[in-house]
């Protein structure tokens, strides 16, 4: 299913705060604790890992607030199309006033002498030119909307769970998911994300209908992350090879 594209700006009034009290971590970590995977750290995640998870969640809530409130590209495109069509009709009607003939000349005279029309002579011609510019700008805006890179539904959620997986992977903890298990038999990573989601507002939660549905989406998110990392690694190797081919001195930091 294709994610709905949104524009890159939104008006928000802040985002929810997030914190986990010490006693609540037992519920978040229970999948790993039950398998004694946190034994090296006293059967709990080390403080720096907990802090990173909390910070990642706050970051997610901040950007997801914009994602939730951003209007769709389709809505903006519909508005641009309506303005363009209205502008085209107005331009056609103005064009009739600029045709030669006594009727059009007299109507121009009657319009342009009115106090509400304040700019010098040939006001209708100026208005025609201005409307033509507006119409051209609307056509360009519609073309630009087709390439718009703004928010996408669910993108911030995927970034969030990938960040959590990265934090756990640094500790050597398993972040794989099982799609055929539920409840406390689900993978520890699925349980951890499930429990984290229960501690954020409902409108930010995703794929909560079952552990299997959550596991499937976590698998897709992590697979997408690995594909991006593979692509970046390939681009890095090509850049290094090109520098070496032309005899340049380089350090890894030059191109990262």
Distances (CA, A) of 255 to 227, 235, 244, 248, 249: 20, 10, 13, 12, 12
* Range 163-175 average pLDDT: 92
Contacts within 8 Å (CB) and 24+ apart, 53-59: 53/164, 53/167, 53/196, 54/18, 54/19, 54/20, 56/160, 56/163, 56/164, 56/167, 57/18, 57/160, 57/196, 57/200, 58/15, 58/17, 58/18, 59/160, 59/163
Considering 39-53, 115-129, 144-158, 230-244, the range whose residues carry the highest mean pLDDT is 39-53
Residue 26 is predicted with a pLDDT of 95
Residue 180 is predicted with a pLDDT of 67
- Better pLDDT: 93 or 30: 30
Confidence of residue 2 (pLDDT cuts 50, 70, 90): low
Residue 250 is predicted with a pLDDT of 40
Residue 64 CA, chain-centre distance (Å), reads 8
Give me the percent of the chain exceeding a pLDDT of 90. Answer: 54
Residue 227 is predicted with a pLDDT of 72
Residue 238 is predicted with a pLDDT of 66
Question: DSSP assignment, residue 193?
Answer: H
> Is pLDDT at 251 greater than 50 in this prediction?
no
Residue 100 is predicted with a pLDDT of 86
> Is pLDDT at 248 greater than 80 in this prediction?
no
Confidence of residue 225 (pLDDT cuts 50, 70, 90): confident
**Model confidence, pTM:** 0.75
Listed by start position, the domains of the chain span: 22-70+151-254, 73-146
> Is pLDDT at 234 greater than 90 in this prediction?
no
Task: Give the Cα separation of 220 and 1 in Å (integer).
Answer: 12
Residue 94 is predicted with a pLDDT of 83
- Better pLDDT: 206 or 254: 206
> Is pLDDT at 214 greater than 90 in this prediction?
yes
Among 88-97, 117-126, 155-164, which is the least confidently predicted range?
A: 117-126
> Is pLDDT at 255 greater than 60 in this prediction?
no
The alpha carbon torsion through 43, 45, 48, 53 (nearest 10 deg) reads -170
* Range 244-254 average pLDDT: 47
């Amino acid at each position: 299913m294709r994610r709905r594209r949104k524009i890159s700006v939104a008006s928000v009034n802040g985002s929810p705060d997030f914190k986990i009290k010490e006693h609540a971590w037992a519920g978040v970590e229970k999948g790993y604790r039950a398998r004694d995977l946190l034994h090296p750290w006293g059967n709990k995640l080390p403080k720096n890992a907990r802090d990173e998870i909390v910070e990642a969640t706050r970051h997610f809530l901040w950007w997801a607030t914009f994602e939730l409130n951003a209007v769709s590209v389709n809505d903006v495109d519909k508005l641009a199309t309506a303005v363009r069509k209205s502008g085209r009709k107005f331009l056609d009607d103005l064009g009739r006033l600029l045709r030669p003939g006594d009727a059009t000349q007299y109507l121009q005279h009657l319009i342009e002498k009115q106090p509400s029309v304040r700019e010098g002579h040939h006001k209708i011609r100026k208005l025609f030119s201005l409307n033509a510019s507006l119409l051209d700008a609307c056509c360009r805006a519609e073309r630009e909307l087709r390439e718009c890179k703004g928010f996408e539904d669910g993108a911030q959620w995927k970034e969030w769970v990938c960040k959590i997986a990265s934090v756990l992977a640094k500790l050597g903890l398993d972040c794989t998911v099982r799609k055929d298990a539920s409840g406390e038999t689900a993978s520890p990573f699925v349980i951890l994300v499930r429990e984290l989601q229960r501690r954020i507002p409902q409108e930010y939660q995703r794929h909560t209908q079952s552990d299997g549905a959550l596991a499937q989406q976590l698998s897709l998110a992590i697979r997408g992350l690995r594909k991006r990392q593979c692509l970046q690694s390939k681009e890095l190797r090509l850049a290094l090879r090109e520098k070496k081919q032309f005899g340049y001195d380089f350090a890894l930091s030059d191109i990262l």
